[in-house]
């Protein structure tokens, strides 16, 4: 039977304790080093900036219901629920007086939003969509004072910026920050009225800058919690400066999902200055081109190097770009001395240029750069693109072009006038590589590689000497739009 010898165990334990004690005595003590920074404390920022943040409530006049009998009790209750807790009416619900209430000019809640005081004399900045269409705007300060506000100028829907004015003096105003100092990863804070809950503070970090969402402006992306009612409130850095206006969220459910967007404050202030000017509206420049992105494959195949610039798909007749000599198929790489990295950079640069300004522009055309001078005009509604009429008469094509999967023919003088081109060849039939590239019957080819094409003879000569083992860049017109397509070698 196994016997426990306690004397030996106690002896071994004593030796082990002495050994450990000796080791501890010999080893020097190491200082404990913090592995990260302490979390930020926003209390001072809230005290500093909070008084300059306002709640904005909008009203609308009650209108006669278009449906017989007006809305039912349940409809009215649901509408009131949405107005109270989401700052907006029930989607798709009719706006009508309550049952048994005679039509009148009574004003009813329409929505809620946020804003911040720009100056001590009562100018307030918010989102255009917060005040758009409102019959009355009420501003509530943190000290519970309420003021009726006047909308200054015409709210700019393109940037979603509006300025309103309340009759008060000695107000606390925000400090405007420098957007160029804002860094991805730094802490930011938002103050607003989500769901009508005034003076709500949320915080997070800057997730990205220059985020292109397809709108006119590049946004600041954050993970700050933003919900309906936060719109128009300030995004604040750790120095207590406003760096953006909280404007949009990305959501599949309608609620916050960890991605929110703010309008950069420098762009918003530029708009605000114009709204406060005697004109009371925002003017933007235009040059009259339709543009598209430049893909990596196209950039490499035409010798541009990297994918940059804005590909000109069409030039409006008589526009500033047309007068400057811009052609469909050009790639605009610089405007007013600033590099065009993405196609969306161009409308922002042109839009921020004062109409009437004469400036320089660099284009890449058939392997070489050219400097052009353009006089910027004022923006106007976009013109609808009129598709080119189909021609019943089709000239006999060149069999030599079949080596790249096409049959082409010379353009008639009438076709050249209609398309506003000097030359080119019409595609009469498409097969093989050209078909896979997306070339269609009726397209007009104006260049292959960096060689300009004015006739079938030039087309044949260019095709004969081009290296068909590499992708072949083809510049073509489709209707009034120009684009590049790549004919790739068969595998």
Active site residues: 129, 160, 231
DSSP strand pairing (451-452 vs 444-448): antiparallel
CA distance 93 to 102: 20
For residue 87, give Cα distances in angstroms to 147, 245, 347.
Answer: 19, 18, 33
For residue 85, give Cα distances in angstroms to 89, 112, 113, 212.
Answer: 10, 10, 12, 30
Secondary structure (DSSP) of 55-104: EEEEEEE----SSTT---HHHHHHHHHHHHHHSSPPTT----PPTT----
- 3-class secondary-structure state, position 411: coil
**Cβ neighbours of 144 (radius 10 Å):** 7
In the structure encoding, which two tokens stand for residue 13, read together? 């334990």
CA distance 163 to 66: 33
- 3-class secondary-structure state, position 167: coil
CA-angle at 335, arms to 334 and 338, nearest 5°: 70
CA distance 120 to 126: 16
In the structure encoding, which two tokens stand for residue 239, read together? 């120095």
Residue with tokens 């920050």: 177
CA distance 235 to 177: 10
For residue 447, give Cα distances in angstroms to 339, 398, 450.
Answer: 25, 16, 6
**Cβ neighbours of 299 (radius 10 Å):** 20
């Amino acid at each position: 039977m196994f016997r426990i010898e306690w004397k030996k165990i106690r002896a071994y334990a004593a030796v082990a304790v002495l050994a450990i004690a000796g080791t501890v005595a010999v080893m020097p003590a190491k200082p404990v080093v913090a592995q990260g920074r302490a979390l930020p404390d926003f209390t001072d920022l809230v005290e500093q900036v909070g008084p300059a943040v306002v709640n904005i409530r909008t009203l609308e006049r009650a209108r006669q219901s278009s449906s017989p009998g007006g809305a039912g009790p349940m409809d009215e209750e649901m509408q009131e629920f949405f107005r109270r807790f989401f700052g907006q009416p029930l989607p798709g619900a009719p706006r009508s007086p309550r049952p048994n209430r005679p039509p009148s000019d009574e004003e009813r809640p329409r929505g809620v939003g946020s804003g911040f005081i720009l100056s001590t004399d009562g100018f307030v900045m918010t989102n255009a969509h917060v005040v758009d269409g409102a019959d009355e705007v009420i501003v509530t300060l943190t000290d519970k004072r309420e003021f009726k506000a006047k909308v200054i100028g015409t709210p700019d829907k393109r940037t979603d910026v509006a300025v309103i004015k309340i009759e008060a003096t000695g107000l606390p105003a925000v400090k405007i920050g420098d957007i160029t100092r804002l860094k991805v990863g730094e802490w930011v804070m938002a103050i607003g009225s989500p769901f009508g809950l005034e003076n709500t503070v949320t915080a997070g970090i800057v997730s990205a800058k220059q985020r292109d969402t397809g709108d006119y402006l590049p946004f600041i992306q954050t993970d700050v919690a933003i919900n309906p009612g936060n719109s128009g409130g300030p995004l604040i850095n750790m120095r207590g400066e406003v760096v953006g206006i909280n404007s949009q969220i990305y959501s599949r459910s309608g609620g916050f999902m960890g991605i929110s967007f703010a309008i950069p404050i420098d762009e918003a202030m530029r708009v605000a200055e114009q709204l406060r000017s005697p004109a009371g509206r925002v003017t933007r420049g235009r040059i009259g081109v339709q543009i598209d992105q430049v893909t990596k494959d196209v950039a490499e195949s035409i010798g541009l190097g990297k994918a940059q610039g804005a590909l000109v798909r069409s030039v409006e007749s008589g526009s500033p770009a047309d007068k400057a000599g811009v052609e469909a198929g050009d790639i605009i790489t610089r405007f007013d001395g600033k590099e065009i990295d993405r196609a969306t950079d161009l409308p922002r640069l042109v839009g921020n240029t004062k109409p009437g300004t004469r400036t320089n522009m660099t284009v890449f055309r058939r392997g070489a750069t050219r400097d052009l001078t353009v006089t910027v005009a004022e923006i106007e509604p976009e013109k609808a693109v009129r598709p080119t009429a189909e021609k019943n008469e089709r000239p006999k094509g060149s069999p030599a072009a079949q080596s790249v999967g096409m049959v082409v023919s010379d353009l008639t003088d009438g076709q050249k006038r209609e398309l506003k081109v000097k030359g080119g060849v019409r595609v009469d039939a498409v097969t093989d590589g050209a078909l896979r590239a997306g070339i269609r019957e009726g397209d007009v080819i104006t260049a292959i590689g960096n060689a300009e094409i004015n006739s079938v003879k030039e087309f044949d000569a260019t095709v004969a000497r081009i290296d068909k083992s590499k992708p072949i860049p083809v510049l073509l017109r489709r209707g009034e739009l120009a684009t590049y397509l790549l004919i790739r070698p068969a595998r």
